[in-house]
Structure formats: C-alpha cells, structure tokens
Amino acid sequence: MQILKEKDALKKQIGAFKNEGLKIGFVPTMGALHDGHLSLIKAALSVSDRVIVSIFVNPTQFDNLQDLEKYPRTLDEDISRISEISKDVLIFSPPAAEVYGGDITSQVFYFDGLEHQMEGKYRKGHFNGVGTIVKKLFELVEPDKAFFGEKDYQQLQIIRKMVAKEGLNVEVIGCPTDREASGLARSSRNERLDPVARQNAALLYKMLQKARENFGTKSATDIISWVSEELQANPDLKLEYFEIANADTLESIGEKENGQRYRAFIAAYSGDIRLIDNIALN
C-alpha cells in the first residue's frame, strides 16, 4: 500500500500513471472509514486502473471548531480497512499546511443557489469549504472519475455544479447510500451513538421510506406535517429539517410537476450528534 503525505510526491506518481495511460479513480474522504466509504472505493476499483483515496479532515468545511477537533482521526485503522479490499490503492493523507500552505481559508463559490438550501442554511460556509478542498484535490489528482456518496446528496450536486462551472475535466459518479442493518445510513458519527440511540436513529430512514410510499398519493405539505409530528412525538430525536425538494435544483417543492425528480431530505439530532439522510421519491 502506497501512502503519500506530500503534494510533490503525489504529483510525480500521478504523472507516472498518466504517462502509462492509466485511468485514475478518486475517492475523497475525511477518514474514520466505514463500509459506506469502502463501497465508494470498491466502485472506483471496478472502473479504474488506479485508485487514489484521500484522507484529510478539511478544516475549512467545519463551522464549529469543537466539531473539527472532535472529528475522529484513525489513519492506521483506515489503512488496514482499505488493505482488506485492495493493496493497490494509493492513499494521500497530507497535513493541512501541505494542502493550504499558510492560508487556511475558503474560496467563495456560487453554486446557482444549491448552496442556500438545507445544509447550507444550517452550516454556514460549509459548502465553500467543501468546494475549496475538492477543487484543490482535483487539481492535484487529475482524476478521470471521482466518487461521492448520495448520503450527502446536496454535496454531490454541488460538486457536479462546480465541475460544470469551472470546466473541470472529471466525471462525477454518485454512489448509493450504504446502510446499517436497521436502515440507518452509515456515518462516522454513528460510532458516537450508544446502542439504544443508534437503534432509535433508524427512525429517520423509516420516515424517508414512508415519505416515498405516500408521495404518489399525498401532498408534500401533508407528508411534511406528518413527519414533523412523528418526530416531535419521539423524545430521542430532534428534527432540524425535513424537506421535499427538486432533485436537481434542491428547491423545496411547490406543486409536483410531471417529468421532475424529487427527493426527501432529513436532518436531526440524537443528543449532540447530528445525522442526515435522504431518499429518491420518484
């Protein structure tokens, strides 16, 4: 397993891959890898000659310093998890100064309004941080294909928008959300839930499934009020938002329109742990 921490060494290796005409698949992560991340790496391995996984806890996408400090850093375990599926993955795990130099700030992006919806309302500056790091990593890695999870669907759409607006030459591939047996979407944060809270958190996915079942027959307003009532009756989970939105523009639904794709999105707290999930409705 090749593990690089320096940009120059990475660029040299990428140059060698390109000279050999190899197709590069790229999976950006913040580490603390779980089966969801591994599903992205497997998808990348299945269609690429070489796969690069970055493991970098990106400071500019955190709106809360405590959150950044508490974020789990488990590089040794991450390396062994990746080596269980392939020993042929290149891991890029740089220190912040290597990526940002002395200037740990975000570029300001305009994602045509995608950045103002849902997560953008509750996590100020988050998507500028995400755009900044992904653009820097794309410039370094020059991937043919890059793999992102639908678990963070708004992020996936924002990356697609950035690639289109900045004219970057990379194909963005969205991968399905990997779930625990209960239905709870896998997340590094699930490790911080105690067993009862973890089981209860599966309610979020149940709500999304119910929303999908009812989407054909009930209005969005009815579904939204039903979900918020159900969650209010549950003392373990505190709803931050539940929205039904156009899957492309992420704008909240008014009237359902023919030919449009819709998704439901949910964010809720279990104690101080923030969980998000989403589902396609049609």
Residue with tokens 């042929």, as numbered in its chain:
88
Q: How far is the CB of 231 from ligand AMP (least distance, A)?
A: 21
Residue 40 sits in the site that holds ligand AMP (CB under 6 A): yes
* Residue placing its CB nearer to ligand AMP in the complex, 109 or 153: 153
* Residue placing its CB nearer to ligand AMP in the complex, 48 or 177: 177
Q: How far apart are CA 223 and CA 244, in angstroms?
A: 9
Stretch of residues binding ligand AMP (CB under 6 A), selected from 30-38, 103-111, 198-206, 264-272: 30-38
* Residue placing its CB nearer to ligand AMP in the complex, 146 or 207: 146
CA angle 159, 160, 161 (to 5 degrees): 90
Q: How far apart are CA 226 and CA 206, in angstroms?
A: 13
Q: How far apart are CA 147 and CA 156, in angstroms?
A: 9
Q: Which long-range contacts (CB under 8 A, 24 or more apart) does 211-217 make?
A: 211/244, 211/264, 211/279, 211/281, 212/264, 212/279, 212/280, 212/281, 215/244, 215/262, 215/264, 215/281, 215/282, 216/282
Residue 149 sits in the site that holds ligand AMP (CB under 6 A): yes
Asked if residue 167 lies in contact with residue 135, where contact means CB atoms within 8 angstroms, the answer is no
Among 37, 123, 126, 263, binds ligand AMP (CB under 6 A): 37
β-partners of residue 275 are 268
Residue 30 sits in the site that holds ligand AMP (CB under 6 A): yes
Q: C-alpha distances in angstroms, 41 versus 50, 77, 174, 204?
A: 11, 16, 12, 26
| Active-site residue set | 37
Among 175, 184, 231, 253, binds ligand AMP (CB under 6 A): 175
Q: How far is the CB of 202 from ligand AMP (least distance, A)?
A: 13
* Residue placing its CB nearer to ligand AMP in the complex, 175 or 201: 175
Q: Name the token pair of 268.
A: 């809720």
Q: How far apart are CA 80 and CA 77, in angstroms?
A: 5
Q: Which of residues 183-222 bind ligand AMP (CB under 6 A)?
A: 185-187
Residue 178 sits in the site that holds ligand AMP (CB under 6 A): yes
Q: Which of residues 81-140 bind ligand AMP (CB under 6 A)?
A: none
* Residue placing its CB nearer to ligand AMP in the complex, 224 or 265: 265
Residues near ligand AMP (CB under 6 A) are 29-30, 36-37, 39-40, 148-149, 151-152, 175, 177-178, 185-187
